Amino acid sequence: MSPRRKTGWLVYVLRCRDGSLYTGITNDLPRRLAAHAAGKAAKYTRSRLPVRLAHTEPQRSKSAALKREAAIKKLSRPRKDLLVRSTAKRITGRQGTRTPNPLGVNEVL
CATH tag, 10-92? 3.40.1440.10
- With a cut of 90, say whether residue 103 has pLDDT above it: no
DSSP state of 21: E
State how far the Cα of 7 lies from the Cα of 56, in Å rounded to an integer.
13
Nearest CA among 94, 68, 63, 60 for reference residue 13: 68
State pLDDT tens for residues 6-27.
669 999 999 999 999 999 999 9
| pLDDT for position 72 | 97
Phi and psi torsions of 77, nearest 5°? -60, -45
Q: What is the residue extent of each domain of the chain?
A: 10-92
Rounded to two decimals, the pTM is 0.77
